[in-house]
Structure 1
Amino acid sequence: MNAAEKLEIVCAKAWPALVEEPLGEWVLRWADGFTGRANSALAIGDPGRPVSDALRAVCDFAHARRIPPAVQVVENSRLERAVAAAGWRERVEHSAGHQVVVLTGPLPSGPAGGAEVLDQPTPEWWELAEGTAEPGPAQRHVVTTGKVGYGVVLADGTTAGAVRGALVDGWLHVGRLAVSPAFRRRGLATTALNALADWGRGHGAERWVLQVAAGNAGALALYSGLGCSEHHRYRYWGPAPRTCEDREP
Protein backbone atom coordinates (compact mmCIF):
# COMPACT_ATOMS: atom_id res chain seq x y z
CA MET A 1 0.00 0.00 0.00
CA ASN A 2 1.48 3.35 -1.02
CA ALA A 3 1.56 6.62 0.94
CA ALA A 4 -1.54 8.06 -0.73
CA GLU A 5 -3.59 4.96 0.07
CA LYS A 6 -2.41 4.92 3.68
CA LEU A 7 -3.38 8.55 4.10
CA GLU A 8 -6.79 7.92 2.54
CA ILE A 9 -7.43 5.32 5.23
CA VAL A 10 -6.49 7.87 7.92
CA CYS A 11 -8.92 10.37 6.44
CA ALA A 12 -11.67 7.77 6.25
CA LYS A 13 -11.22 6.93 9.93
CA ALA A 14 -11.57 10.62 10.73
CA TRP A 15 -14.91 10.82 8.88
CA PRO A 16 -16.65 7.52 9.70
CA ALA A 17 -19.86 6.57 7.95
CA LEU A 18 -22.87 5.29 9.86
CA VAL A 19 -22.69 1.98 7.96
CA GLU A 20 -19.37 0.56 6.78
CA GLU A 21 -19.05 -2.85 5.13
CA PRO A 22 -15.80 -4.39 3.87
CA LEU A 23 -15.47 -5.45 0.26
CA GLY A 24 -12.06 -7.06 0.41
CA GLU A 25 -9.88 -4.07 1.25
CA TRP A 26 -12.46 -1.64 -0.13
CA VAL A 27 -15.06 -0.14 2.23
CA LEU A 28 -18.72 0.38 1.31
CA ARG A 29 -20.10 3.41 3.17
CA TRP A 30 -23.51 4.91 3.90
CA ALA A 31 -24.51 7.95 5.98
CA ASP A 32 -27.97 8.81 4.70
CA GLY A 33 -26.58 11.05 1.97
CA PHE A 34 -24.46 13.24 4.27
CA THR A 35 -21.30 14.04 2.24
CA GLY A 36 -19.73 12.18 -0.63
CA ARG A 37 -16.99 10.73 1.53
CA ALA A 38 -19.43 8.95 3.83
CA ASN A 39 -21.68 7.74 0.99
CA SER A 40 -19.20 6.27 -1.46
CA ALA A 41 -17.03 3.18 -1.59
CA LEU A 42 -13.44 3.85 -0.58
CA ALA A 43 -11.60 2.05 -3.36
CA ILE A 44 -8.23 1.37 -1.77
CA GLY A 45 -6.34 -1.89 -2.15
CA ASP A 46 -7.71 -5.21 -3.41
CA PRO A 47 -11.49 -5.73 -3.38
CA GLY A 48 -10.93 -9.49 -3.50
CA ARG A 49 -12.65 -9.88 -6.86
CA PRO A 50 -12.37 -8.38 -10.34
CA VAL A 51 -12.93 -4.62 -10.32
CA SER A 52 -16.01 -4.95 -12.53
CA ASP A 53 -17.56 -7.33 -9.99
CA ALA A 54 -16.59 -5.02 -7.13
CA LEU A 55 -18.31 -2.11 -8.86
CA ARG A 56 -21.45 -4.25 -9.21
CA ALA A 57 -21.34 -4.78 -5.44
CA VAL A 58 -20.99 -1.00 -5.01
CA CYS A 59 -24.11 -0.55 -7.12
CA ASP A 60 -26.08 -3.13 -5.16
CA PHE A 61 -25.07 -1.60 -1.82
CA ALA A 62 -25.99 1.90 -2.97
CA HIS A 63 -29.29 0.95 -4.57
CA ALA A 64 -30.38 -0.92 -1.43
CA ARG A 65 -29.79 2.27 0.59
CA ARG A 66 -31.17 4.77 -1.91
CA ILE A 67 -27.95 6.67 -2.62
CA PRO A 68 -26.20 7.15 -5.97
CA PRO A 69 -23.45 4.56 -6.56
CA ALA A 70 -20.01 6.15 -6.27
CA VAL A 71 -16.42 5.24 -5.58
CA GLN A 72 -13.68 7.42 -4.13
CA VAL A 73 -10.36 6.52 -5.73
CA VAL A 74 -6.86 8.01 -5.79
CA GLU A 75 -6.34 10.05 -8.94
CA ASN A 76 -4.20 8.52 -11.69
CA SER A 77 -3.87 5.26 -9.78
CA ARG A 78 -4.05 1.76 -11.20
CA LEU A 79 -7.46 1.35 -9.59
CA GLU A 80 -8.77 4.55 -11.14
CA ARG A 81 -7.74 3.30 -14.56
CA ALA A 82 -9.51 0.00 -13.85
CA VAL A 83 -12.68 1.83 -12.78
CA ALA A 84 -12.61 3.83 -16.01
CA ALA A 85 -12.04 0.66 -18.04
CA ALA A 86 -15.13 -0.87 -16.42
CA GLY A 87 -17.27 1.86 -17.98
CA TRP A 88 -17.59 4.27 -15.06
CA ARG A 89 -17.14 8.03 -15.44
CA GLU A 90 -15.96 10.94 -13.31
CA ARG A 91 -18.88 12.01 -11.15
CA VAL A 92 -18.68 15.67 -12.15
CA GLU A 93 -22.16 16.37 -10.79
CA HIS A 94 -20.93 15.89 -7.20
CA SER A 95 -22.03 19.15 -5.60
CA ALA A 96 -18.92 19.71 -3.49
CA GLY A 97 -16.56 19.02 -6.39
CA HIS A 98 -15.61 15.59 -7.70
CA GLN A 99 -11.84 16.23 -7.61
CA VAL A 100 -10.29 16.72 -4.19
CA VAL A 101 -6.80 17.84 -3.18
CA VAL A 102 -5.34 16.19 -0.07
CA LEU A 103 -2.97 18.57 1.73
CA THR A 104 -0.52 17.88 4.53
CA GLY A 105 1.83 19.99 6.59
CA PRO A 106 3.36 20.54 10.01
CA LEU A 107 1.08 21.97 12.66
CA PRO A 108 1.54 25.75 12.71
CA SER A 109 2.10 27.92 15.74
CA GLY A 110 0.27 31.21 15.67
CA PRO A 111 -2.05 33.51 17.61
CA ALA A 112 -5.31 31.91 18.66
CA GLY A 113 -6.81 34.62 20.84
CA GLY A 114 -10.60 34.49 21.00
CA ALA A 115 -10.67 30.83 19.93
CA GLU A 116 -11.06 27.62 21.90
CA VAL A 117 -11.51 23.93 21.14
CA LEU A 118 -14.47 22.20 22.76
CA ASP A 119 -15.02 18.51 23.46
CA GLN A 120 -18.62 18.70 22.23
CA PRO A 121 -20.20 20.75 19.45
CA THR A 122 -22.55 23.50 20.58
CA PRO A 123 -25.80 24.31 18.75
CA GLU A 124 -24.02 27.42 17.44
CA TRP A 125 -21.16 25.28 16.12
CA TRP A 126 -23.63 23.01 14.33
CA GLU A 127 -25.46 25.98 12.86
CA LEU A 128 -22.32 27.59 11.45
CA ALA A 129 -20.40 24.47 10.38
CA GLU A 130 -23.31 22.34 9.15
CA GLY A 131 -26.21 24.75 8.65
CA THR A 132 -28.44 23.15 11.26
CA ALA A 133 -28.81 23.20 15.02
CA GLU A 134 -30.55 19.80 14.94
CA PRO A 135 -28.40 17.29 13.04
CA GLY A 136 -29.86 13.92 12.12
CA PRO A 137 -28.49 10.60 13.42
CA ALA A 138 -26.17 9.95 10.46
CA GLN A 139 -24.82 13.50 10.44
CA ARG A 140 -24.22 13.42 14.18
CA HIS A 141 -22.47 10.05 13.94
CA VAL A 142 -20.08 11.19 11.20
CA VAL A 143 -19.20 14.47 12.90
CA THR A 144 -18.89 13.29 16.52
CA THR A 145 -17.39 9.79 16.35
CA GLY A 146 -13.79 9.41 17.49
CA LYS A 147 -11.42 11.77 19.30
CA VAL A 148 -12.76 15.05 17.98
CA GLY A 149 -12.32 18.70 18.88
CA TYR A 150 -14.64 21.52 17.85
CA GLY A 151 -12.92 24.85 17.34
CA VAL A 152 -14.93 28.01 17.83
CA VAL A 153 -14.04 31.67 17.51
CA LEU A 154 -16.13 34.19 19.39
CA ALA A 155 -16.54 37.75 18.12
CA ASP A 156 -19.01 40.38 19.27
CA GLY A 157 -20.59 37.80 21.56
CA THR A 158 -21.38 35.29 18.82
CA THR A 159 -19.82 32.18 17.33
CA ALA A 160 -18.17 33.69 14.28
CA GLY A 161 -15.87 30.81 13.29
CA ALA A 162 -15.98 27.03 13.52
CA VAL A 163 -13.77 24.09 12.55
CA ARG A 164 -13.56 20.35 13.28
CA GLY A 165 -10.45 18.35 14.07
CA ALA A 166 -10.14 14.57 14.49
CA LEU A 167 -7.11 12.69 15.79
CA VAL A 168 -6.21 9.51 13.91
CA ASP A 169 -2.91 7.62 14.11
CA GLY A 170 -0.90 10.70 15.02
CA TRP A 171 -2.54 12.90 12.38
CA LEU A 172 -4.87 15.84 12.95
CA HIS A 173 -7.59 15.71 10.30
CA VAL A 174 -9.14 19.13 9.70
CA GLY A 175 -12.54 19.84 8.22
CA ARG A 176 -15.76 21.88 8.29
CA LEU A 177 -13.97 25.23 8.53
CA ALA A 178 -16.56 28.00 8.39
CA VAL A 179 -16.65 31.72 9.15
CA SER A 180 -19.89 33.69 9.39
CA PRO A 181 -20.23 36.04 6.38
CA ALA A 182 -20.47 39.08 8.66
CA PHE A 183 -17.03 38.31 10.14
CA ARG A 184 -15.00 37.34 7.09
CA ARG A 185 -11.68 38.94 6.13
CA ARG A 186 -10.72 39.41 9.77
CA GLY A 187 -8.34 36.47 10.00
CA LEU A 188 -10.78 34.36 12.02
CA ALA A 189 -10.22 31.26 9.89
CA THR A 190 -6.50 31.35 10.68
CA THR A 191 -7.25 31.98 14.34
CA ALA A 192 -9.54 28.93 14.47
CA LEU A 193 -6.96 26.77 12.72
CA ASN A 194 -4.17 27.91 15.03
CA ALA A 195 -6.29 26.98 18.05
CA LEU A 196 -7.05 23.59 16.55
CA ALA A 197 -3.36 23.03 15.79
CA ASP A 198 -2.51 23.77 19.43
CA TRP A 199 -5.16 21.29 20.52
CA GLY A 200 -3.84 18.63 18.16
CA ARG A 201 -0.27 19.18 19.29
CA GLY A 202 -1.39 18.79 22.88
CA HIS A 203 -2.78 15.37 21.96
CA GLY A 204 0.37 14.12 20.28
CA ALA A 205 -0.17 15.13 16.66
CA GLU A 206 2.67 16.73 14.69
CA ARG A 207 1.10 17.07 11.25
CA TRP A 208 -2.33 17.72 9.84
CA VAL A 209 -4.19 16.57 6.78
CA LEU A 210 -6.97 18.38 4.93
CA GLN A 211 -9.25 17.46 2.03
CA VAL A 212 -10.15 20.45 -0.15
CA ALA A 213 -12.13 20.60 -3.39
CA ALA A 214 -9.77 21.37 -6.26
CA GLY A 215 -11.90 24.34 -7.26
CA ASN A 216 -11.79 26.00 -3.84
CA ALA A 217 -8.99 28.46 -4.58
CA GLY A 218 -9.54 30.47 -1.41
CA ALA A 219 -9.16 27.49 0.91
CA LEU A 220 -6.15 26.19 -0.98
CA ALA A 221 -4.45 29.59 -0.65
CA LEU A 222 -5.28 29.75 3.07
CA TYR A 223 -3.77 26.35 3.80
CA SER A 224 -0.76 27.00 1.60
CA GLY A 225 -0.08 30.10 3.68
CA LEU A 226 -0.09 27.88 6.77
CA GLY A 227 2.60 25.61 5.33
CA CYS A 228 0.50 22.91 3.67
CA SER A 229 1.37 21.31 0.35
CA GLU A 230 -0.37 18.86 -1.94
CA HIS A 231 0.11 15.20 -1.07
CA HIS A 232 -2.18 13.64 -3.69
CA ARG A 233 -5.65 13.95 -5.18
CA TYR A 234 -8.68 11.72 -5.38
CA ARG A 235 -11.79 11.72 -7.51
CA TYR A 236 -15.35 10.44 -7.28
CA TRP A 237 -16.52 8.12 -10.04
CA GLY A 238 -20.01 6.90 -10.80
CA PRO A 239 -21.60 4.47 -13.27
CA ALA A 240 -22.28 5.58 -16.81
CA PRO A 241 -25.83 5.00 -18.13
CA ARG A 242 -26.70 1.30 -18.27
CA THR A 243 -23.49 0.40 -16.40
CA CYS A 244 -25.49 -0.06 -13.23
CA GLU A 245 -28.72 -1.19 -14.94
CA ASP A 246 -30.05 2.39 -14.67
CA ARG A 247 -31.31 1.73 -11.14
CA GLU A 248 -30.45 5.18 -9.90
CA PRO A 249 -32.52 6.20 -6.86
Structure 2
Amino acid sequence: MNPAETLEVACTAAWDPLISESLGEWRLRWAAGFTGRANSALAVGDPGVPISLALRQVCDFAHSRDIEPRVHAIKDSTTEEALAAHGWIPDIEYANGHEVTVLTGPPGAGDAALVLDEPAPAWWELTTGSAEPSPAQRHVLATGKTGFGMFGDFAAVRGAVTDDIVLVGRLAVRPSHRRQGHAVTLMNAIGAWGTRHGAARCVLQVSVTNSAALALYAGLGFTEHHRYRYWIPA
Protein backbone atom coordinates (compact mmCIF):
# COMPACT_ATOMS: atom_id res chain seq x y z
CA MET A 1 0.00 0.00 0.00
CA ASN A 2 1.10 3.58 -0.57
CA PRO A 3 1.43 6.05 2.35
CA ALA A 4 -2.09 7.45 1.94
CA GLU A 5 -3.62 3.98 1.96
CA THR A 6 -1.56 2.92 4.97
CA LEU A 7 -2.69 5.98 6.91
CA GLU A 8 -6.33 5.39 5.97
CA VAL A 9 -6.16 1.84 7.30
CA ALA A 10 -4.63 3.10 10.57
CA CYS A 11 -7.35 5.72 10.90
CA THR A 12 -10.20 3.27 10.37
CA ALA A 13 -8.79 1.13 13.18
CA ALA A 14 -9.21 4.16 15.45
CA TRP A 15 -12.84 4.67 14.38
CA ASP A 16 -14.27 1.21 15.01
CA PRO A 17 -17.65 0.35 13.43
CA LEU A 18 -20.12 -2.07 14.94
CA ILE A 19 -19.67 -4.40 11.99
CA SER A 20 -16.64 -4.63 9.71
CA GLU A 21 -16.28 -7.18 6.91
CA SER A 22 -13.31 -7.64 4.60
CA LEU A 23 -13.66 -7.56 0.84
CA GLY A 24 -10.12 -8.36 -0.17
CA GLU A 25 -8.25 -5.34 1.23
CA TRP A 26 -11.41 -3.22 1.25
CA ARG A 27 -13.43 -2.87 4.46
CA LEU A 28 -17.22 -2.79 4.59
CA ARG A 29 -18.33 -0.85 7.67
CA TRP A 30 -21.61 -0.35 9.53
CA ALA A 31 -22.48 1.54 12.71
CA ALA A 32 -26.23 2.18 12.53
CA GLY A 33 -25.68 5.30 10.44
CA PHE A 34 -23.43 7.13 12.91
CA THR A 35 -20.71 8.92 10.90
CA GLY A 36 -19.69 8.39 7.30
CA ARG A 37 -16.38 6.87 8.31
CA ALA A 38 -18.08 4.01 10.16
CA ASN A 39 -20.82 3.49 7.55
CA SER A 40 -18.98 3.29 4.26
CA ALA A 41 -16.72 0.95 2.36
CA LEU A 42 -13.08 1.91 2.80
CA ALA A 43 -11.82 1.29 -0.74
CA VAL A 44 -8.06 1.08 -0.44
CA GLY A 45 -5.96 -1.69 -1.86
CA ASP A 46 -7.29 -4.60 -3.90
CA PRO A 47 -10.86 -5.83 -3.29
CA GLY A 48 -9.85 -9.23 -4.65
CA VAL A 49 -12.69 -9.29 -7.19
CA PRO A 50 -13.53 -7.23 -10.29
CA ILE A 51 -14.58 -3.68 -9.38
CA SER A 52 -18.12 -4.22 -10.70
CA LEU A 53 -18.60 -7.17 -8.34
CA ALA A 54 -16.96 -5.30 -5.46
CA LEU A 55 -19.38 -2.39 -5.86
CA ARG A 56 -22.33 -4.78 -6.04
CA GLN A 57 -21.19 -6.30 -2.73
CA VAL A 58 -20.84 -2.79 -1.24
CA CYS A 59 -24.47 -2.13 -2.19
CA ASP A 60 -25.69 -5.48 -0.88
CA PHE A 61 -23.90 -4.96 2.43
CA ALA A 62 -25.38 -1.47 2.85
CA HIS A 63 -28.93 -2.32 1.76
CA SER A 64 -29.09 -5.34 4.05
CA ARG A 65 -28.34 -3.01 6.98
CA ASP A 66 -30.60 -0.12 5.97
CA ILE A 67 -27.90 2.42 5.11
CA GLU A 68 -27.12 4.06 1.80
CA PRO A 69 -24.22 2.56 -0.19
CA ARG A 70 -21.19 4.80 0.13
CA VAL A 71 -17.52 4.34 -0.78
CA HIS A 72 -14.69 6.14 0.99
CA ALA A 73 -11.88 6.56 -1.56
CA ILE A 74 -8.63 8.50 -1.68
CA LYS A 75 -8.98 11.53 -3.92
CA ASP A 76 -7.46 11.27 -7.41
CA SER A 77 -6.68 7.57 -6.93
CA THR A 78 -7.19 4.82 -9.48
CA THR A 79 -10.11 3.70 -7.30
CA GLU A 80 -11.86 7.01 -7.94
CA GLU A 81 -11.28 6.56 -11.67
CA ALA A 82 -12.88 3.12 -11.45
CA LEU A 83 -15.82 4.44 -9.45
CA ALA A 84 -16.51 7.11 -12.05
CA ALA A 85 -16.20 4.57 -14.86
CA HIS A 86 -18.87 2.43 -13.17
CA GLY A 87 -21.34 5.27 -12.78
CA TRP A 88 -20.66 6.34 -9.21
CA ILE A 89 -20.51 10.05 -8.31
CA PRO A 90 -19.09 12.14 -5.44
CA ASP A 91 -21.67 12.43 -2.64
CA ILE A 92 -21.81 16.24 -2.77
CA GLU A 93 -25.00 16.28 -0.66
CA TYR A 94 -23.31 14.55 2.29
CA ALA A 95 -24.16 16.74 5.28
CA ASN A 96 -20.73 16.79 6.92
CA GLY A 97 -18.82 17.43 3.72
CA HIS A 98 -18.03 14.79 1.10
CA GLU A 99 -14.38 15.85 0.67
CA VAL A 100 -12.06 15.51 3.65
CA THR A 101 -8.46 16.56 4.12
CA VAL A 102 -6.28 14.29 6.24
CA LEU A 103 -3.76 16.36 8.20
CA THR A 104 -0.68 15.22 10.06
CA GLY A 105 1.31 17.15 12.60
CA PRO A 106 3.25 17.07 15.85
CA PRO A 107 1.50 15.70 18.92
CA GLY A 108 2.25 18.83 20.92
CA ALA A 109 2.98 19.14 24.61
CA GLY A 110 0.24 19.79 27.12
CA ASP A 111 -1.45 18.57 30.28
CA ALA A 112 -2.35 14.92 29.69
CA ALA A 113 -4.22 14.98 33.00
CA LEU A 114 -7.07 16.70 31.13
CA VAL A 115 -7.65 13.43 29.24
CA LEU A 116 -9.83 10.85 30.96
CA ASP A 117 -10.11 7.11 30.37
CA GLU A 118 -13.91 7.24 30.43
CA PRO A 119 -16.16 9.91 28.91
CA ALA A 120 -18.34 11.90 31.29
CA PRO A 121 -21.97 12.79 30.44
CA ALA A 122 -20.86 16.35 29.65
CA TRP A 123 -18.34 14.97 27.16
CA TRP A 124 -21.06 13.05 25.36
CA GLU A 125 -23.34 16.07 25.34
CA LEU A 126 -20.65 18.28 23.80
CA THR A 127 -19.53 15.81 21.16
CA THR A 128 -22.79 14.07 20.20
CA GLY A 129 -25.52 16.42 21.38
CA SER A 130 -26.84 14.08 24.07
CA ALA A 131 -25.60 13.02 27.50
CA GLU A 132 -26.99 9.56 26.73
CA PRO A 133 -25.19 8.24 23.63
CA SER A 134 -26.67 5.58 21.40
CA PRO A 135 -25.06 2.13 21.41
CA ALA A 136 -23.45 2.93 18.05
CA GLN A 137 -22.04 6.23 19.30
CA ARG A 138 -20.67 4.60 22.43
CA HIS A 139 -19.05 1.80 20.45
CA VAL A 140 -17.51 3.95 17.71
CA LEU A 141 -16.17 6.61 20.05
CA ALA A 142 -15.21 4.57 23.12
CA THR A 143 -13.72 1.37 21.68
CA GLY A 144 -9.98 0.74 21.65
CA LYS A 145 -7.18 2.79 23.17
CA THR A 146 -9.16 6.02 23.52
CA GLY A 147 -8.89 9.16 25.63
CA PHE A 148 -11.50 11.80 26.34
CA GLY A 149 -10.26 15.33 26.88
CA MET A 150 -12.38 17.75 28.92
CA PHE A 151 -11.75 21.35 29.91
CA GLY A 152 -14.38 22.40 32.42
CA ASP A 153 -17.79 21.46 31.06
CA PHE A 154 -17.42 23.56 27.92
CA ALA A 155 -14.70 21.95 25.78
CA ALA A 156 -14.08 18.35 24.72
CA VAL A 157 -11.97 16.25 22.36
CA ARG A 158 -11.37 12.58 21.55
CA GLY A 159 -8.11 10.80 20.82
CA ALA A 160 -7.56 7.22 19.65
CA VAL A 161 -4.15 5.58 19.35
CA THR A 162 -3.39 3.00 16.71
CA ASP A 163 0.03 2.03 15.38
CA ASP A 164 2.17 5.17 15.82
CA ILE A 165 -0.61 7.76 15.43
CA VAL A 166 -3.17 9.43 17.62
CA LEU A 167 -6.28 10.22 15.60
CA VAL A 168 -7.87 13.33 17.05
CA GLY A 169 -11.52 14.18 16.53
CA ARG A 170 -14.80 15.43 18.02
CA LEU A 171 -13.17 18.69 19.12
CA ALA A 172 -16.01 20.83 20.46
CA VAL A 173 -16.19 24.11 22.41
CA ARG A 174 -19.41 25.74 23.55
CA PRO A 175 -20.07 28.96 21.59
CA SER A 176 -19.87 31.08 24.74
CA HIS A 177 -16.30 29.86 25.40
CA ARG A 178 -14.82 30.03 21.92
CA ARG A 179 -11.80 32.14 20.93
CA GLN A 180 -10.33 31.77 24.41
CA GLY A 181 -7.64 29.21 23.64
CA HIS A 182 -9.52 26.16 24.94
CA ALA A 183 -9.28 24.27 21.65
CA VAL A 184 -5.49 24.70 21.61
CA THR A 185 -5.28 23.58 25.25
CA LEU A 186 -7.17 20.39 24.47
CA MET A 187 -5.23 19.70 21.26
CA ASN A 188 -1.99 19.90 23.23
CA ALA A 189 -3.44 17.74 26.01
CA ILE A 190 -4.64 14.99 23.69
CA GLY A 191 -1.31 15.10 21.87
CA ALA A 192 0.57 14.61 25.12
CA TRP A 193 -1.78 11.76 26.03
CA GLY A 194 -1.13 10.18 22.64
CA THR A 195 2.63 10.43 23.12
CA ARG A 196 2.31 8.64 26.46
CA HIS A 197 0.58 5.81 24.62
CA GLY A 198 3.19 5.45 21.89
CA ALA A 199 2.02 7.89 19.21
CA ALA A 200 4.68 9.76 17.22
CA ARG A 201 2.31 12.05 15.31
CA CYS A 202 -1.24 13.37 15.33
CA VAL A 203 -3.73 12.85 12.53
CA LEU A 204 -6.89 14.85 11.85
CA GLN A 205 -9.71 14.33 9.33
CA VAL A 206 -11.36 17.66 8.51
CA SER A 207 -13.93 18.71 5.93
CA VAL A 208 -12.29 20.99 3.35
CA THR A 209 -15.14 23.47 3.93
CA ASN A 210 -14.35 23.90 7.65
CA SER A 211 -12.14 26.97 7.28
CA ALA A 212 -12.09 27.85 10.98
CA ALA A 213 -10.82 24.41 11.99
CA LEU A 214 -8.27 24.35 9.17
CA ALA A 215 -6.87 27.70 10.31
CA LEU A 216 -6.60 26.44 13.89
CA TYR A 217 -4.75 23.29 12.86
CA ALA A 218 -2.43 25.13 10.47
CA GLY A 219 -1.41 27.31 13.40
CA LEU A 220 -0.53 24.16 15.34
CA GLY A 221 1.77 22.91 12.58
CA PHE A 222 -0.53 20.51 10.73
CA THR A 223 -0.19 20.02 6.98
CA GLU A 224 -2.18 18.08 4.43
CA HIS A 225 -1.17 14.47 3.85
CA HIS A 226 -3.92 13.55 1.35
CA ARG A 227 -7.65 13.86 0.81
CA TYR A 228 -10.50 11.39 0.54
CA ARG A 229 -14.03 11.64 -0.80
CA TYR A 230 -17.33 9.81 -0.39
CA TRP A 231 -18.89 8.32 -3.51
CA ILE A 232 -22.41 6.99 -4.10
CA PRO A 233 -24.19 5.22 -6.96
CA ALA A 234 -25.61 7.71 -9.46
TM normalised by structure 2 equals 0.98
Q: After the TM superposition, which segments of 4 or more aligned residues of structure 1 sit over 6 Å from their partners?
A: none
Task: Report the Cα distance in structure 2 between the residues aligned to 1:197 and 1:45, rounded to whole angstroms.
Answer: 29
Shift of 1:202: 1.4
Q: Distance in 1 between matches of 2:223 and 2:100?
A: 13
Number of the residue aligned with 2:232? 238
Which residue in the other structure is 1:102 paired with?
Answer: 102
**Corresponding residue for 1:175?**
169
2:188 maps to amino acid: N
Q: CA deviation at 1:50?
A: 1.0
The structure 1 residue matched to 2:146, chosen from 145, 148, 163, is: 148
Shift of 1:52: 1.3
Using the alignment, how far apart are the partners of 2:33 and 2:198 within structure 1?
33
Give the percent of matched residue pairs that are identical in Structure 1 and Structure 2. 60
1:34 and 1:190 map into 2 onto residues whose CA distance is 27
What residue ranges of structure 2 are gaps of 5+ in the alignment? none
Q: Distance in 1 between matches of 2:197 and 2:65?
A: 37
Give 1 or 2 for the bigger CA radius of gyration. Answer: 1
Task: Indicate conservation of the 8 Å contact 1:117/1:199, yes or no.
Answer: yes
> For the residues of structure 2 that align with 1:45 and 1:132, how far apart are their CA atoms?
37
Alignment pair present for 1:124 and 2:117:
no
Q: Aligned partners of 1:38, 1:134: CA distance in 2, in Å?
A: 20
Q: CA deviation at 1:109?
A: 2.5
List gaps (5 residues or longer) in structure 1: 241-249
2:20 matches 1:26: no
Q: 1: distance between equivalents of 2:226 and 2:124?
A: 30
Distance in 1 separating the partners of 2:108 and 2:189: 10
**Aligned position for 2:188:** 194
User: TM-score, structure 1 length as denominator?
Assistant: 0.92
- Provide the residue aligned with 1:135 in structure 2: 133
> Secondary structure in 1 aligned to 2:4?
helix
Amino acid at match of 1:69: P
Instruction: Give the Cα separation in 2 of the matches to 1:138 and 1:129.
Output: 14
